[in-house]
Chain A
Amino acid sequence: MAATAESVKQDMPPKGGYRKINFARVFPKPFASSRALVGTYMVCTGVGWYLYLLNDRQIDNYQIESRNAIIAISPLLDAEADREYLKQLRRNRDAEEKLMKNVKGWETGTLYGEPIYKTVDSNKLIEPGLNEYYVHAPPKTLLDRAYWHKYL
């Protein structure tokens, strides 16, 4: 069974040769040109900045309006608060006098006659600290005043 030359068919390249191997780099189709992309970016950013500026100014105006109202009524609030403050100072002094009336040699507002400030005129009002101001009040009053921001 020897194979004859006619019966054997050699596997040969197709006519005209194989097609070329594609090794060239293929770029994706661009969405838009680079100029368009950069331009769009700049326009969007610019519009965003502008809107931010408008919003910022609006918020500033709200805050100014709010502060405006607070400043306008602050004399009224201050006047009332000052009167109440002076009343409370007198109440505190009266309470101390009543509390220490049996202690020999005690003078109100001093330590047995020794004042807190020696060189200051005795008629100058030096505002007492919080602990001193609320000394005859229940502890919660002082805590409420000192830590009011924790209740917010």
Chain B
Amino acid sequence: MVTKSLELPTFEELTVEEVPISSPGLRAASNHFGKYCLEVNDEFMMCKIETDDPRKCINEGKAVTNCALEFFRKLKVNCYDEFQIYSNCIDKSSTRLDFEPCRKTQAVYDKCVFEKMGIERPEHGFFCKARVYTGNRPKPPPAEPQVFSDLPVGLKDFNEEERPPAKYGQRNWFIK
């Protein structure tokens, strides 16, 4: 397990209000959420990949959760019924939360979100495509090559001339 010298954030730093939404709801809102919080999400994922350390991306992660809460609160104010019907349809139409059986409710939901919140549904497969990161994160320096000393630790380095005579014989030209 981790040692005491490892810096871990405290519980207070890690406790924020989480998003209390189930899988069908998240899936129903995924496209618009991704569009609404695009920069924040990119920042967080970039931090996660570049630092490879969850401790260094807590603030970015909090920003993501905060943005999600903001988005879902707006959604609740503006398009509550449409969202509920759509997510309910996704939940109950198939075993794998497919989008295909819910095109009609999706159209109603999309229209509402576009008219009241101004978010257009991104094109098909938008989040699967590679995007160029446009944030302000500085590029991390390349990893320095590892430098090893010539000898293993604890092995004495001496010249050929300084070699002591063999204690129990047998030091020939072919066995040294």
Which residues of A are at the interface with B, using a C-beta cutoff of 8 A?
61-62, 64-76, 78-80, 82-83, 85-87, 89-90, 92-93, 96-97, 107-110, 115, 122-123, 125, 128, 132, 135
Contact = CB atoms under 8 A, between A and B. Distances in A.
B107 interface: no
Interface in B23-43: 26-27, 30-31, 33-34, 37, 40-41
Contact of A69 (B10, B31, B54, B64): B31
Contacts of B111: none
Contacts of B31: 68-69, 72
How big is chain B's contact interface, by range? 35 or more
Given A71-B127, A72-B127, 15 more contacts: A64-B124, A64-B128, A68-B125, A69-B30, A69-B31, A69-B127, A72-B33, A80-B19, A87-B15, A92-B1, A93-B4, A93-B8, A110-B3, A122-B6, A123-B7
A105 B14 CA distance: 31
Given A72-B33, A93-B4, A125-B54, A78 B48 contact: yes
Interface string B137-163: 000000000000000000000000000
23 contacts: A62-B99, A64-B125, A65-B125, A66-B97, A68-B128, A69-B31, A69-B99, A72-B127, A73-B34, A74-B45, A75-B44, A76-B26, A76-B41, A79-B44, A82-B58, A86-B9, A86-B58, A89-B8, A92-B1, A92-B2, A109-B2, A109-B4, A128-B1
Q: Which 8 A-B pairs give the minimum distances between C-beta atoms?
A: A72-B34, A109-B3, A79-B61, A69-B30, A82-B54, A75-B41, A72-B30, A71-B127
A105 to B, nearest CB: 14
A107 B3 contact: yes
A80 B69 CA distance: 12
